[in-house]
Structures are given as C-alpha cells and as structure tokens.
Structure 1
Amino acid sequence: MIARLSADLASGALTEALADIAEDAARVILPYWRNGVVAESKADDSPVTRADREAEALILARLEAAWPGVQAVAEEAAAANGLPAEGGEMFWLIDPLDGTRGFIEGRESYTVNIALIHNGVPVAGVVTAPATATTWRSGVPGAGAFRRTFGDAWRQIRVRERPAAPMALLSHSMTDEEAHRLAGRHGCTTWQGTDSSLKFCLIAEGRFDAYPRTGPTSEWDTAAGQAVLEAAGGRVMGEDGQPLRYGKSCFANGPFVALGG
C-alpha cells in the first residue's frame, strides 16, 4: 500500500482525492454550523460536536476504502481510544474540524485537515474551509500549492516576498499585548487574529507573512497546513530552526513559526 500511496502522490492523484474527501466532510459539517449545535467536553476540556465526529467518520471510511491498512491518527478517535505510541513510516493525520470553539460561536475560520506523513515529513496536505467553500492543497512534489472554490478549477498560489510592513496572523485567544509582542518578535508591524489551520493557507496564498505560535498544538492541527505552505514556498520551523516534524511523543508540537517569503 505504501507503493500505491507513493505512486498516487507522484502523479498528483493523491491530493486531488483528498480534496474531494475533505469537501465531502465539509458538506457533513455545514448543516450544523450556526444551527444550535451542542458541544460536549472531552477529557482535556476541549469541545467536540456531532459535526466533528461525523466528519471524522466519513474521512476515515473514505481513506480506508481508497488506501486500506494505512495507519490513521485522527483527533476524535485519539480522544476516545488513546494515541498510538508513535507514528509509522507513513500515516495519516486528521483533524475533521479544526477550530471547534470558533465553529460553535458561529465564526467562519474553521477547517478540515487531512495530511499524509512519510518519515516524519508532511508530504501531502489538504485544508478545506467549509464556511467559504474553499480548499487548499499541496501538489505533486515540487509543483507548488493550489486553491479552489468548490466546483471551480484549481489556481496555483505562492507566498509573497516579505513586504516592508509584514503582517502576522495569531490565535484569537491571545491578548492584544501578547499579540503585539509576539508579532513584533518576527518583524511584523500589524497582526490579525483568526482560528484554525486557515492561518497557514492565508500565508501560502500571499496575504500574510508570519504565524508565530507559542501555545500547545497537536500535530493534526498543523500537518496539512504545513504541507500546503511549504508547497507554496513557505516554511514552518520549530524552536531549533528546523522544519516541524511529525510522529513525535504524544503527537504534540512545541513552539513554532510559519513564514512566507
């Protein structure tokens, strides 16, 4: 199955298929958005809804049907059944609804994330924003990143050259004082708050320049966005200055920064 995955990755068929799966998951999620969805609390006190669970079930079933036997690490299954000790040589990382708190509050910036990891590296990734019917994906290795509105043709995207007044994207949970300090640390004169992996995609398409993160994240929060951003010419680096890698202990990330040109 690894040979087939590698062939599909090389041909471009993989991320095309992942985009279709993510967009179908978005169609599962949308009827719950701004419709009185009820949240439950998981063991870590983070929220989960029926939309999260139903979207994840669809994604896992479709991945297994297309590429049977490939390990999958998905947020809600991990919360219910526990994490594996580590990631294998090749495995999926899935967040069926990234930005659940904002989703519950009716904000638009929640996403569906699907990534393929090979030897710790995100080699393919798709991010879908259901509220705006938009999908971003990595392409054939070395061929760039792409964006489409549901039903439209793909358009290639690329990070912009760093402007004289760079702009940062930051988590909504930060205070203004914290945000100004963190943005300034990376040379950004202005910043905007938003949720989810959408931040990686907005940098990938050349609208912003940096996304620094000091608080905890899980690997399924970042892998798909990293794949898209790196395909578009950007970088995602940990505190050691090296690209963020996957399959780590507890599938947890330390501080990192995502950068455009």
Structure 2
Amino acid sequence: MNLIEELNLAKALSIKAGEAIMKIYSDSFEIEFKDDESPITIADKTANGIIVDELKKHFSGYAILSEECEDDLSRLNNDWCWIVDPLDGTKEFINKNGEFTVNIGLAYKNKVVLGVIYIPVTRELYYAAKGFGSYYQKESNIVKISVSNRTENIRMMASRSHATDKLKNLIENNSHKISNIKRVGSSLKGCFIAKGDAEVYYRFGPTKEWDTAAMQCIVEMAGGIFKQIDGTAMIYNRENTLNHKGFYILNNIENELL
C-alpha cells in the first residue's frame, strides 16, 4: 500500500492548520459551546476549513469525517475515509498551556492506515503510514521512532482533563509497577509512548474516532499496542463515531495493568 501522496498532503495540511491556529492563539478569541457542552473556538473552525477543503480538492474520491463538519453517513459506503480533528485539545488551547494538536488520520476498510499529529506550539510533527513506520520531525531533523522495551518501573501517561475513578483505582492497584505519571493534554500521550518516552496510557472515558485515529497509527507503526479496554480492535468509519469502551496503549503486552 503506497500512501506517500496522502501522507505528504496530510503533513503539509497539519502544519498549515497549525500556523493558522497559532495566529489565533496569540490573540484573544471567543469561546462557544456545542450541543454536548464541549468548547469550540474560531481556531477549530479555521483549521477545519484549511484541512477539509484541501482534502476534498486533492482526494475527491475519499470520504471525510471531521469533528467540526456535519457527518455525512454516505461515508459508510466508501472504503477510504479521512478522519480529522483540526484542534485536538480545545480546552488546553483555551487554557494556553500548549498541549494541543492537529490530528489527521486515514482509514481504509475500517482500519487506520495513516496518521499525522502536529504540535503547533513546539512545531513538532509525528507521522506514520502502514508499511512505512513512525517518524518524529522537528525542523529539518527526522528520526524513525519506536516504543521502549521497558517492562519495569514503567512510565504512565494520564489525561490532564479526563481523570476518572477507574483510572485512580488502576494506578493505586499498580503503584508498585509505575515509576512516574505524566499528565498532558490531547493526543500527545500516544506520541510520547510511540517515541519511547512512556509505556502505558489508559483512557476509560468515551472518545470519538477523530480523537484516536491518527494516534493509533503512529503508536502501532512504532511497535506499540492500541486496543479498546475490553481487548478488542478499534474500527473506524463506523456509523456511531462514539467509542463507549475506552482504550489503552502499551509499549509491551507485559505492561497490561487491568
């Protein structure tokens, strides 16, 4: 499967959207709320327009599922589907802590085959494609990344905005295995594991397809494990975009904590 054209476009669009986000980030902006009470800003909308318009132009035969677009279920009849979160971590963007990303994934026959995650504040880029591997880029420096081989004194990633009692109990029950816990926002948690800077992440709360698609590809192509909490595979371009089960990311099956 040759996805170089798709990958190059997704990388370019993530950076272009990130630059637009940063122009808004450095200024004042209004905060609106969607029906589910999640926040949205002009940055979400601007980045979405940049990405979606260009994807439609260059890959008109592919479907698109984006957090900031009305869902057209005709995508279910298409083997190919772009899955976009133009600003993952809107709460972190609003709080101006820098922990937000641009996520672009691509699914083929319900499996994610490409992922790009860009961090606008630090200008770091993570990307992967099936059969291509996972890479980390900052400026002109590009390195192939892989998960760590650590199975003792493991480092855990945790969400800054989505703590749960289940996670608290998991940490307490495995405190003898965990050396430290790092809390960050957005899909950065998966990127840290893919790059070998942490070993485990558990998310018990619900997520949407655009929260996980790009991250899953980057993790898996780096040699990591990405499953729903019950151990089943995550599928994409499904009718119900909500994942009720939660998910976990591991560098090694030996670090499974449930």
Decide: shared fold, TM above 0.5. Answer: yes
The 5 Å alignment of 1:178-189 reads: 179-183=167-171, 187-189=177-179
Q: What SS is found at the alignment partner of 2:182?
A: strand
User: Equivalent residue for 2:247?
Assistant: 256
Question: What RMSD in Å do the two structures reach over aligned CA positions?
Answer: 2.0
Structure 1: how far apart are the matches of 2:172 and 2:150?
15
User: Equivalent residue for 1:15?
Assistant: 7
Whose strand proportion is higher, 1 or 2?
2
Structure 2 residue 211 is matched with structure 1 residue 221: yes
Question: Contact (CA 8 Å) 1:83, 1:250: kept in 2 or not?
Answer: no
- Number of equivalences: 248
Deviation at 1:113, TM superposition (A): 0.5
Cα deviation 1:11-39 (Å, max 9, x = unaligned): x3321221111001101100111422211
The partner residue of 1:167 within 144, 155, 164 is 155
Letter of the structure 2 residue corresponding to residue 84 of structure 1: L
Q: What SS is found at the alignment partner of 1:131?
A: coil
Cα deviation 1:115-153 (Å, max 9, x = unaligned): 0001111100100010110110004x333200111x414
5+ long unaligned stretches in structure 2: 253-258
Provide closer, same or farther for how the CA distance between residues 128 and 68 of structure 1 changes in structure 2, counting only shifts above 3 A: same
Structure 2: how far apart are the matches of 1:123 and 1:183?
32
5+ long unaligned stretches in structure 1: 1-5
Letter of the structure 2 residue corresponding to residue 31 of structure 1: K
Provide closer, same or farther for how the CA distance between residues 175 and 52 of structure 1 changes in structure 2, counting only shifts above 3 A: closer
Letter of the structure 2 residue corresponding to residue 217 of structure 1: T
Structure 2 residue 120 is matched with structure 1 residue 130: yes
Deviation at 1:180, TM superposition (A): 4.1
Structure 2: how far apart are the matches of 1:172 and 1:221?
15
User: Equivalent residue for 2:256?
Assistant: none
Q: Percent identity?
A: 30
Letter of the structure 2 residue corresponding to residue 19 of structure 1: K
Question: Contact (CA 8 Å) 1:145, 1:231: kept in 2 or not?
Answer: yes
Deviation at 1:83, TM superposition (A): 5.4
User: Equivalent residue for 1:198?
Assistant: 188
- Using the size of structure 1 for normalisation, the TM-score is 0.88
- Using the size of structure 2 for normalisation, the TM-score is 0.89
